[in-house]
Amino acid sequence: MRRKEKKEKKEKETTERSKDVKDVKKEAEQGAPAVEKGAEEGAPNGAAATDQNGEFQVEPMELPPFEIIQGDRIDPFAFKFQFKNVEYSSGRNKTYLCYLVDCGTSDDGLLRGYLEDEHSGSHAEEAFFPQCLPHYDPALKYTVTWYVSSSPCSACATKIAEVLKARTNVKLSIFSARLFEWEEPEIQDGLKALHAAGCKLRVMKPLDFSYAWETFVENEDQPLNLWEDCKENYEYYHDKLADIIQ
Helix pair angle (124-132, 154-166), 10° resolution: 30
DSSP 121-152: SS-HHHHHHHHH-TT--TTS-EEEEEEESSPP
- Measured CA to CA, the distance from residue 20 to residue 25 in angstroms comes to 9
Classify 112 as helix, strand or coil: strand
List, by residue number, the catalytic residues. 125
Q: Hey, what amino acid is at 133?
A: L
23: β partners? none
- Residue 118 CB partners (closer than 8 Å, separation 6+): 66, 67, 68, 69, 94
